[in-house]
Amino acid sequence: MKIWLVGAYGIVSTTAMIGAKGLEKEIVDSTGLVSELPVFNDLRKYAPLSFDFGGHEIRMLENAYEASMEHWELNRHFDIQILDGVKEELEKIRAKKGTALNCGTGIEGLGKIKTLEDDGLSLKEIVDAIKKDMQSFSDDETVVINVASTEAMPNYNKEYHNTLDGFEAMIDENKKEFATASMIYAYTALKLGLPYGNFTPSVGSSLPALKELAIKNKVPHAGNDGKTGETLVKTTLAPMFAYRNLKILGWMGYNILGDYDGKVLSYADNKESKVISKDSVLEKVLGYSPYSITEIEFFPSLVDNKTAFDFIHFQGFLGTKMKFYFIWDAIDAIVAAPLVLDIARFLLFAKKKGLCGVIKELGFFFKSPMETDVVNTHKQFEILLDWYLKLR
């Protein structure tokens, strides 16, 4: 199968490519891939564990190998022999110039970039350029995954965002102030009939207009915001308190991270949607909203070694107040990258089964899954498994 990555030279994208090519060459095993659990052992009939990659990028590097080596030099997050073993394959992967339209001031933290906006293109010309790139790569087994940096919150407009006609009028009228890069990528993918997964908290395909397009073109899509670290633990632990009828009084999560993701999230406008995504899960799990603090801060020396400190204050029998603490300390790309491959494979499976619109059963992979309030990790996995077993 083929995966078109938006943000192709980021650390999550390159780690996914390295892992995928390493699997093909039997340099690594499938540890970390949900789709390779024994219960999904026949998924390979629908979505082979063999991948070709293309994508869009705004950091103009030579190829995916150069990008991978840049990330490896900073993080040393896996054995260099793995990267050496797939060097030839990565050198062939060259991203196309993409858009960063209204992505927020955090994009300034990425250093030297080149975008389609720099060429003075209209919104329609940007869409046409992205469409041409995707068409030249795609086939019937292609999925588009957005793993770009988190955007600022969009300038929402009912006229342009609530209907497909309105959205396409926005493009024709060159109303750039109401468009963002993630919207444009999602629109183009769905217009071409390519399944789309949004691994970011950016708006992506969650607009009513784009949900309408997905149904019209019979395309499956899913999102938003890959659930990889602290929120994964939060949505796994919070149900435990609910099951035991223990009242959570307050939950503090303090996240520190470096690398390009940390740089982008150090800007308030880019951080906003990420904080909302991480902070909204407690009410959905518990049915009430305890006092909560969610902080995300840039800590350069950590690079991709994201660390989260969580403090939970809870009340038990006889009104007694108690405390629970945990620390999540993980290489963010290592826990995120296999999920990119998982989401792509399950979306291709959904397409081959004739499904379209939001595939809410893939909510297991997301912090803010579309069209469902189920964020309890245990229930999400049961839903995913039941969905798969009924369809296979």
pLDDT at 157: 95
Domain positions in the chain: 2-226+334-391, 230-330
pLDDT one digit per residue (tens) for the chain, 392 residues: 999 999 999 999 999 999 999 999 999 999 999 999 999 999 999 999 999 999 999 988 999 999 999 999 999 999 999 999 999 999 999 999 999 998 877 766 566 789 999 899 999 999 999 999 999 999 999 999 999 998 988 999 999 999 999 999 999 999 999 999 999 999 999 999 999 999 999 999 999 999 999 999 999 999 999 999 999 999 999 999 999 999 999 999 999 988 777 767 666 666 666 677 666 899 999 999 999 999 989 999 998 899 999 999 999 999 999 999 999 999 999 999 999 999 999 999 999 999 999 999 999 999 999 999 999 999 999 999 999 999 99
- For domain 230-330, the CATH superfamily is Dihydrodipicolinate Reductase; domain 2 (3.30.360.10)
Q: What pLDDT, on a 0 to 100 scale, did the predictor assign at position 260?
A: 74
Using an 8 Å Cβ cutoff, are 25 and 331 in contact?
Answer: no
Within 8 A by CB and 6+ apart from 148, the residues are: 6, 7, 10, 98, 103, 181, 182, 185, 200, 202
Q: Which CATH architecture does the domain made up of 2-226+334-391 adopt?
A: 3-Layer(aba) Sandwich (3.40)
Judge contact between 346 and 362, C-beta under 8 A. yes
pLDDT at 167: 98
Give the pLDDT of residue 220.
98
pLDDT given at position 266 = 66
Are 356 and 219 a contacting pair, CB within 8 Å?
yes
Give the per-residue pLDDT at 283. Answer: 92
Residue 383: what pLDDT?
A: 98
Residue 75 φ/ψ, nearest 5 degrees: -110, -30
pLDDT score for 241: 97
Neighbours of 144 (CB within 10 A): 30
pLDDT in tens, 352-370: 999 999 999 999 999 999 9
Residue 315 structure tokens: 């009340």
pLDDT at 269: 65
Q: What is the pLDDT of residues 64-106, one digit of tens each?
A: 999 999 999 999 999 999 999 999 999 999 999 999 998 877 7
> Mind listing the pLDDT tens digit for each residue in 327-350?
999 999 999 999 999 999 999 999
Q: CA-to-CA distance for 307 and 387, rounded, in angstroms?
A: 33
Please check whether the two domains, 2-226+334-391 and 230-330, share a CATH topology. no
Q: Which amino acid is at 216?
A: K
Give pLDDT tens digits for 287-309. Answer: 999 999 999 899 999 988 999 99
Q: 109: closest CA among 289, 217, 268, 248?
A: 268
Q: What is the largest CA-CA distance in the chain?
A: 67
CA dist 277 and 294 (Å) reads 10
Q: How far apart are CA 188 and CA 18, in angstroms?
A: 26
Phi (first) and psi of residue 24, to 5 degrees: -60, -35
pLDDT of residue 88: 97
Would you state the pLDDT for residue 113? 87
